[in-house]
Amino acid sequence: MRKTGHLVQVFPNPTNNTLNIKSDKSISNIEIFNVQGQLIKTVKAQNKELNISIDELPSGLLFVKIDLCTGNRWASKLIKE
């Protein structure tokens, strides 16, 4: 997956309990994967800003895939403490 020309922010990184995502376009779907590539959380949305609780997710390196309503995708690494 590659970054698109759209502005997408994933913060804070590293994080403990909450993941914030902001985009200049509406976000349609967020998927979070562990390092083994297993899907561990999915969030459906139709917003430009989201606050996602990740309390239940394991600590360590995670990967976040963000689908925008434009059809574009964006990916980021995330460290959960």
pLDDT in tens, 36-76: 999 999 999 999 999 999 999 999 999 999 999 999 999 99
Q: In CATH, what class is 8-80?
A: mainly beta
pTM for the full predicted model: 0.90
Q: How far is CA 60 from CA 34, 36, 38, 80, 81, in A?
A: 8, 12, 14, 5, 6
Query: 51 is written with which tokens?
Result: 């606050």
Q: CA 71, CA 21: separation in Å to the nearest integer? A: 17
Can you give the pLDDT at residue 1?
38
- Tell which residue, 56, 53, 78, has the closest CA to residue 65: 78
Query: 8 is written with which tokens?
Result: 């997408």
Can you give the pLDDT at residue 15?
96
Distance from chain centroid for Cα 55: 14
